[in-house]
Amino acid sequence: MNNPFETLIIPGGILLLGFLSALLLPAPSFGIELAKRLQESLHLMDVNQLYTIVFSLWFLLLGAIEFFVIRFLWRRRSR
């Protein structure tokens, strides 16, 4: 039987693991020229907005990957 709080635990776990990953793994960084081109093509006000978006996506992507890897290992172990 599934835990009724699973709908809250999964996103919380993803955010927590993403936070830990952001502390341990370096986020991608662009060169000045590429950052300016991306800023213009995405119609952003400045490069800081671009890096805010990149860091947020990096944070969530790493958290989701780690969460599903850990969940896969946990469920495999509990069989």
Q: Annotate the chain with three-state secondary structure.
A: CCCCCHHHHHHHHHHHHHHHHHHHCCCCCCCHHHHHHHHHHCCCCCHHHHHHHHHHHHHHHHHHHHHHHHHHHHHHHCC
Q: Say whether pLDDT at 16 is over 90.
A: no
- Residue-wise pLDDT for 57-70, tens only, equals 888 888 888 888 88
Query: Average pLDDT for residues 9-32, to the nearest whole number?
Result: 80
pLDDT for 71 equals 83
Share of the chain above pLDDT 90, in %: 28
Q: Where are the domains of the chain?
A: 24-77
Is the predicted pLDDT of residue 1 greater than 60, yes or no? no
pLDDT of residue 47: 92
